[in-house]
Structures are given as structure tokens and as C-alpha cells.
Structure 1
Amino acid sequence: MDTIKISTAQNIDIEYEIAGLGERIAARCIDLAGFVVLYFLAMIIGVIGLVSFSGASFYVALIGFAILFVFYDLICELFMDGQTFGKKALKIKVISLDGAQPTFGQYIFRWLFRMIDFGFPFGWGVVALVSVVVTKNHQRVGDILAKTTLIKTRPRTQIENVAFSFALPDEYQPVFKEVLHLNDRDIELVYEVLTGYYQTGNPQLIYAMATKIKEHILTTIPAGMNELQFLETVMKDYKQLTSNMG
């Protein structure tokens, strides 16, 4: 399963799954379904205007629909954080390959090359279909040139899937009750950092996250406890305290 790493505000790399061909097609179908509805509405408005007023109103409605169709993806992605309504429904979004939010220029590149990806002379989407299938990051031509791709908006680790590798005894007493100031997403990040450390041995991940957690819950690490032990204790305390609340 292909993934891409995105750096969080805590300077921690979190892996997201790259959206596959199925998600892209489904999102596009949703967007096109919306345009079918808008097309018929535009035609009804145009016909009403043609009967009640003049022929100009029909062409105004038709031109308005055409403009919306042409600029829909660009406008939505610019103002909806890399998503159209279809992408939002499928929980996918446009992201730069370096993990950053795409720039205005990158959105423009994606939009300009839609003609090659989906235009009539190029097989009504065949180019995009083949490109997404064969490229490593599932990119259409516009993505390749803009250095973007689509990702699933949910990180790979969810709180309900966090596999706590420890069993807490019934008499376990939380050390940091301040962890109640955290939320599930914070704990997901802690889990990702711990997993990354166990796999890579990079202590900088631990130091960075421990610092952020300390600042967030306004606590200090007791003498004799290092940053790794602190984060592991935070996980245990959160599990214990939130399970008691449930």
C-alpha cells in the first residue's frame, strides 16, 4: 500500500495512504453527477427565460454552466483545501509530494493539464487512467507536472486501531492526570512517533514530541524518567483515565 509522509506542526512525519484509482474515479463520478443536476437546472432556467423573456437568457444560463464546469475543480481545490465535493465525500485531497499544502501555481498546473488528462482528443480520461495506474504515486499527468498527488485524509493510525502492547493492571495509578487535556488525535500522534522510534531508532522524534506534550499539558518530566518513558506513560495514563470515564 503506497503512502506519503506529511510533516505535522510538531515536525513529526505522519504517513497517509495515497488515494488509489477507485477513490479518484468515485470522486469524479460524484462531481459529474452534480453537474448533470446543474445542467438540467440550467436548461430549465434557460427555457423559462426563453419563453418569458428573450433568447438571450437561454444562452446566459448555458454559458454560466459552461464556465462553472470549466473552473469547478480549480475553484474548489483553491478554496476547499485541495478538495472538490466529490473528493470531500470520498475523504481524499490534493497534496504536494513534499507533504506541504499545494501552492497556487501547483493548483493551476493540475487544472491546465486537465485537457490532456480528460480532454476529447486524448480519449476522455484514458491518459489520466493509464497514468494513475502506472505511476508510483498514482498521479495523472497534471499531478506529475505539478508535483502533487491525492491522499486519503485520514492518517493510517486511528485511535480505535492503536494496538496498546501493554496490559494495565487493575491497580494502575496514572502519573500524569493532565493527559485529559489531550484528545484522541494527540494520542494517535504519540503512537505514530513511538512506532517510528521503534522502527528507526531516531531519538529526535521522541524529543520533539515529548517537548510538545509537556508544553500542551503543562507538566514536567520527573527525575529518573526519560522522554521515551514519558511518552509511554502518557499513553498508559490516557488509556486508563479515558477508560474509567467510559
Structure 2
Amino acid sequence: MSELSINTTQNVKINFIAASIGERLGAYFIDASVKIAYILVVWFVFFYWLKVGVLMDGLDSWSARALMSLFAIPLMFYSLTLESIFEGQSIGKILLKIKVVKIDGYQAGFGDYLIRWFFGIIDFFIPIIYGLVALITVISSKKAQRLGDMAAGTAVITLKNNINISHTILEDIGTSYVPTYPLVIKLSDNDMRIIKETFNKAADKNDYEIISKLVAKIESVTGIKNQSGNNSDFIRVVLKDYNFYTQNM
């Protein structure tokens, strides 16, 4: 799976995980199964039970084609209709927990789904190489996009929870936790996110110089003085203190 970074118009960076080839294929085959089930139901109800096939024998060719086209409409507009109703999801996508989103941070709209649906003719329905175009473009694209996604400015992401507490500014603190540095409230959520990300990366690489500079920056901005004597412990306490005060404000 590849990470997909979306920069919104408010200059906020949102990270998603692009849906894998397996997830997209799984959703495709589930949707195909739904369409096949529809065809079987239509055949049984209308052509076997209600004898529509017998009635069609008395129709001219244009009328017969019009009637067949009427039955085919749900198949033709299946993905467009469901993605518009369920905000980027078909039955297959719902079951596989993947979704179509705009890469500019906005909610995809009907026009975007329409473009994806239209380009589906190229992606999936070229004779002999059915679906090969979509498969190649998804694999080769940096954002795992098929042609329809590229044209619509969309991508398909996974909704499965791949985030744990280490990816956020949250820290595990017990109910009996006693804070040390009240002045941490001078910092913002974004400050804490940057501090935590920088600290974690530096700690993984044993980059004590970066950690020391980070401590100096925290002290200069907040007026806090490191009382622990250990830079890493100091930053951990700052993170927990910030969580304590902001959760109880």
C-alpha cells in the first residue's frame, strides 16, 4: 500500500493510504457479482415467470431493443448511481472499506463520479484487454489512479484503521497523572504534532543533536526549563503535560 498525501485548499496536509490492487479488484468482483445476480433475477422474473420473452416475439426490432435497454439501465449506471448516493462507494467498496475521494481535499461530487464512470469505458470495456488499462495505470500511477481517477482528480483510499496513537499528538496518561509544566499550554496542537514527529524520528536515529535543539526551541517558546536533566524524558513529559491540560480544559 502507498501513502497518499492530500493538500487541502486550507493548506492542511491529510495522509491517507491508497487502496491496494487486491482491495480494488475485490470490490470490482463483488460489484460484478451483484450485476450478475441482477441479470439472473431479471431473467427469472421477467423472461421466465412473466413470459416477457414471449411478448417480445411480437415486437419489432426497435421496440425489442428499447425493452432490453430498459432492463440494462441499472447495469450501465450501477457505479455512477451508487457512488453518487453513498459518497464514493459502491456495494463492493462498502464491503471492502474503500472509497473515492478528491485529491484536493474536497468531497467528490456527481460531476467527478460522472467523469470516472465515463472513462470506465476505456479503463474496463475495451475488447480483448478488458480492465488491463485500469490495472496498468493503477500500478504505475504514484497515487494509484486509473484513467478515470486522473481525469476526475480523484483517488481510491482505504478506510481501514491503520492509525494508532503514535501517529497522533495523543499520549497515554493515567487518571492519577500529575503534570510538571503548566506553560505547555502556550503551544498549539500543530506545535505538538511537529514536536512529536520530530522527536520520534530523531529518537529512532539516535540523533541527540536534533533532540537537544528541539528542547532548546521548546524552552525558548514557552519559558519552560528542563527539570529532568534528560532531554528525551523532558520532551516525553511535555507531550503528556500538554495532553493533560488540553483534555481537562
Tell whether the structures are fold-level matches, with TM greater than 0.5.
yes
Deviation at 1:14, TM superposition (A): 3.2
Counterpart AA for 1:69: L
Q: CA RMSD in A?
A: 4.1
5+ long unaligned stretches in structure 2? 181-188, 200-221, 225-234
Q: 1:7-156 counterparts in 2 under 5 A?
A: 13-47=13-47, 48-50=49-51, 54-55=55-56, 62-121=68-127, 123-154=129-160, 156=162
5+ long unaligned stretches in structure 1? 176-189, 202-222, 242-246
Q: Deviations over 1:2-61 (max 9, x none)?
A: 2223579x98533110112111100011111111111110000122121798337x9787
Contact 1:16 1:156 in 2 (8 A): no
The verdict on how the C-alpha distance between 1:62 and 1:232 changes in structure 2, with shifts beyond 3 A counting, is farther
Deviation at 1:120, TM superposition (A): 3.5
Partner Cα distance (2:169, 2:198) in 1:
19
Whether 2:236 is the aligned partner of 1:235: answer no
- Matched residues, percent identical? 31
Contact 1:26 1:90 in 2 (8 A): yes
Q: Which of residues 155, 172, 180 is equivalent to 2:177?
A: 172
The verdict on how the C-alpha distance between 1:130 and 1:46 changes in structure 2, with shifts beyond 3 A counting, is same
Q: Deviations over 1:78-102 (max 9, x none)?
A: 1111110100111111111112212
Q: Deviations over 1:119-169 (max 9, x none)?
A: 13361101111111111111111111111110112454145x768997757
TM-score by length of 1: 0.64
Q: Which residue of 1 aligns with 2:183?
A: none
Q: Which residue of 2 aligns with 1:209?
A: none
Counterpart AA for 1:13: K
Q: Which residue of 2 aligns with 1:218?
A: none
Partner Cα distance (1:156, 1:194) in 2:
21
The verdict on how the C-alpha distance between 1:173 and 1:38 changes in structure 2, with shifts beyond 3 A counting, is same
Counterpart AA for 2:50: G
Counterpart AA for 1:44: F
State the aligned residue count: 201
Greater Rg over alpha carbons, structure: 2
- Larger relative contact order (C-alpha < 8 A, sep ≥ 6)? 1
TM-score by length of 2: 0.64
